[in-house]
Amino acid sequence: MTVAHAPARTADATTGAAAPVVALRGAGVRVGGRALWSGVDLEVGAGEFVAVLGPNGVGKSTLVKVLLGVQQPAAGEVRVLGARPGRAGARVGYLPQRRSFDASLRLRGTDVVRLGWDGDRWGVPLPFPLPGRWGARSRAAAERVAEVIGLVGAEAYADRPIGQCSGGEQQRLLIAQALVRRPELLVLDEPLDSLDLPNQAAVAALIGRICRDEGVAVVMVAHDVNPILSRLDRVVYLAEGGAVAGRPADVINSATLSRLYGTSVEVLTTSDGRLVVVGQPEAPARHTDRHGNAPAGQDAASGAEPGREGRRADG
Ligand SMILES: Nc1ncnc2c1ncn2[C@@H]1O[C@H](COP(=O)(O)OP(=O)(O)OP(=O)(O)O)[C@@H](O)[C@H]1O
């Protein structure tokens, strides 16, 4: 895989040698007795931004689970911050896919961010100051919470109940929650999902800034690569049985994707520089739920033959 510049490294827990933030070598995974993807080679250095792309159901969220240590790889080697996945604790921040809050939820944005600091130990923070050492810890937490709320630009609505914040505002607060313990790696599962275009652009810019200015490595599952395309260092494109990783231009092109999927895939560039992938094989039949009740042989969304509809990369 082409690496634009040498990734910054951390010490490997076993060997003591310098190690990238994330390293997958020949990694593969099986769920429910079925191989999802295999042969994934990927290195992510400090401050690098990498997107995980591929059709629905191909195993993007499963790759996230592998990085978090929740899902064991079936093949190859996976290291996160120089250790086996799941060992890095607060050094890894995580934003799960599709979280929504009930409008009547009383928890404020600030409380949600604070849960990222000590929610695993204390639940919702106490509303009164604590004395002594606990007071100092509590003040440090409050300062860090205020700092990350500033970092994501959420000051104006952080004291509002989270359920009354917009989708974009909630997403910024959840990113702040994932950042509050100063992670070196941020793993984001479709953080732009269900946001409108201006909010997609704003949250993408925020994530890019976190990478560049804070030196945090970001691995982000994306349904549409376009909002983040200009900010990415690398992409990993998953397919049933295979994968390809590299710089966006080296991966998201007709020749590479046709080779990966074993069928003719066209990557078109629109006049405003957006990528559209045409002919990418649709997800396996398991994902019929995402396509309504289309008649056999017809896709509900596009009316096209399954797997032949145009879609933005990756879609
Ligand atoms: N524990 C499990 N047992 C059996 N199958 C599973 C399990 N977890 C996930 N799967 C299946 O593995 C496949 C990959 O799931 P995953 O959520 O990783 O895909 P994805 O690429 O993130 O999909 P999407 O784009 O729709 O979010 C799906 O077909 C899913 O149903």
Q: Return the DSSP state at 131.
A: P
Q: What is the pLDDT of residues 209-229, one digit of tens each?
A: 999 988 999 999 998 899 999
Q: Which residue has the higher pLDDT, 125 or 6?
A: 125
Q: May I ask the CATH class of domain 10-88+227-264? A: alpha beta
The tens digit of pLDDT for each residue in 90-123 reads: 899 999 987 778 888 889 999 999 998 876 544 4
Give the Å distance between the CA of 287 and the centre of ligand 1.
Answer: 9
Query: pLDDT category, 193, cuts 50, 70, 90?
Result: confident
- Ligand 1 centroid, distance to 58 Cα (angstroms): 7
Q: CA 143, CA 129: separation in Å to the nearest integer?
A: 13
Report the chain's mean pLDDT, rounded to a whole number: 81
pTM over 0.90: no
- Work out the pLDDT band at 289, boundaries 50, 70, 90: very low
Which atom of ligand 1 is nearest to 54's Cα?
21
Identify the residue with better confidence: 26 or 89. Answer: 26
> Whose C-alpha lies nearest to ligand 1, atom 29?
57
**Residue for token pair 């078109």:** 268
Instruction: Point out the least confidently predicted range of 11-25, 242-256, 265-279.
Output: 11-25
Based on its alpha-carbon atoms, the radius of gyration of the chain, rounded to whole angstroms, reads 20
Note whether 29 and 71 are within 8 A (CB): yes
Domain boundaries, the chain: 10-88+227-264, 102-182
Q: What is the number of alpha carbons within 13 Å of residue 50 lying toward its C-beta?
A: 31
Whether 56 lines ligand 1, by a CB cut-off of 6 Å, is yes
Ligand 1: distance of its center to the CA of 245 in Å? 20
Ligand 1 pocket check for 136: Cβ under 6 Å: no
Locus of tokens 């994330």: 22
Query: How many Cα atoms sit within 13 Å of 172 on the Cβ side?
Result: 25
Would you give the distance in Å from CA 165 to the centre of its chain? Answer: 22
User: Ligand 1: distance of its center to the CA of 85 in Å?
Assistant: 19
Long-range CB contact pairs, 223-226, < 8 A, 24+: 223/190, 223/192, 223/193, 223/314, 223/315, 224/192, 224/200, 224/312, 224/313, 224/314, 224/315, 225/51, 225/53, 225/252, 225/275, 225/312, 225/313, 225/314, 226/274, 226/275, 226/312, 226/313
Tell me: the pLDDT tens digits for 249-275?
A: 999 999 999 998 888 899 999 988 888
| pLDDT at 98 (0 to 100) | 72
Query: Who wins on pLDDT, 17 or 83?
Result: 83
What pLDDT does 33 receive? 87
62 lines ligand 1 (CB under 6 A): yes
d(CA 184, CA 179): 9
Q: Please report how many Cα atoms fall inside a 13 Å half-sphere around the Cα of residue 254, on the Cβ side.
A: 8
Give the tens place of pLDDT for each residue, 122-173.
445 555 555 666 666 778 889 999 999 998 999 999 999 999 998 889 989 9
Instruction: Tell me how far the alpha carbon of residue 32 lies from the centroid of ligand 1, in angstroms.
Output: 10
Kindly state if the Cβ of 27 falls inside 6 Å of ligand 1: no
ipTM: 0.96
Determine the Cα–Cα distance for residues 119 and 121; give it in Å rounded to an integer.
5
